[in-house]
Amino acid sequence: MKLSPKFWMQAASFISCETRADWMRAMEAELGAIETLEGRKTFAAGCFQAALYDFTRSRRGLSIMARGGGAVLALLMSGYVFGVALKWIGAAETAAMGMLIAGLSLYYAVCAALLWASLRRLQIFAISGFGAAVCGHIYFRLLAPQWESLSPEFLQAVSLEMAGLMTGFFIAGAFLLRLYDPKDSQC
């Protein structure tokens, strides 16, 4: 599929920061000076490459990549945990545990949405992640052994895993918040 110079220039403009608008205008003006269509296509594709390079090095680009990557990971985690929860809910003896895990999958889904929406809102995510880790651990330690069908050792292992995951999210959230500027229009 051959893409037109206009397409490449539009794509380049789309990913460019506001501060690079003058550069985009300069590139478009140069495009008009090129005689052949093939030359214009190559030039425009190069402009997109330049914009992409600039984007990946900018704070805006890093912010979007961090948010996007985090959101995809949280969404995948949510899907996986929900799948596990469905299996557990299906059996009578593990239904209560399954409900809890389903709640966890919902938490991850909310995390994914928050990550994508704004890094500023990640503060809620970071704090709630830590809170959920502590609550989940206490819940499993104090209440879960009452479920006779599950051994205390197993529940303790699960609770530790859950605490580890949540703490991981908390650290990742705090790290992203410290590193990236949520003002997406800035470069």
Partner 1 sequence: MKRERAPSKSTRLVLQALLSGPDYGYGLMKTTGLKSGTLYPILMRLTDRGFLTSQWLEPETQGRPPRQSYRLTGAGRTYVTGVSDAGPVADIKGGASA
Whether residue 142 contacts residue 111, with contact meaning beta carbons closer than 8 Å, is answered with no
Does 15 contact partner 1 by CB under 8 A?
A: no
Does 26 contact partner 1 by CB under 8 A?
A: yes
Does 181 contact partner 1 by CB under 8 A?
A: no
Taking alpha carbons only, the member of 54, 174, 74 closest to residue 116 is: 74
The residue with tokens 């859950």 is: 162
Residue type, position 119, single letter: L
Does 61 contact partner 1 by CB under 8 A?
A: no
**Site map (CB under 8 A) of partner 1, residues 30-49, x = contact:** x-xxx-------xxxxxxxx
Nearest CB to partner 1, comparing residues 27 and 77: 27
Instruction: Report d(CA 83, CA 98) in Å as an integer.
Output: 10
Instruction: Report d(CA 15, CA 22) in Å as an integer.
Output: 14
Residues that bind partner 1 (CB under 8 A): 20, 22-23, 25-30, 32-34, 42-50, 53-54
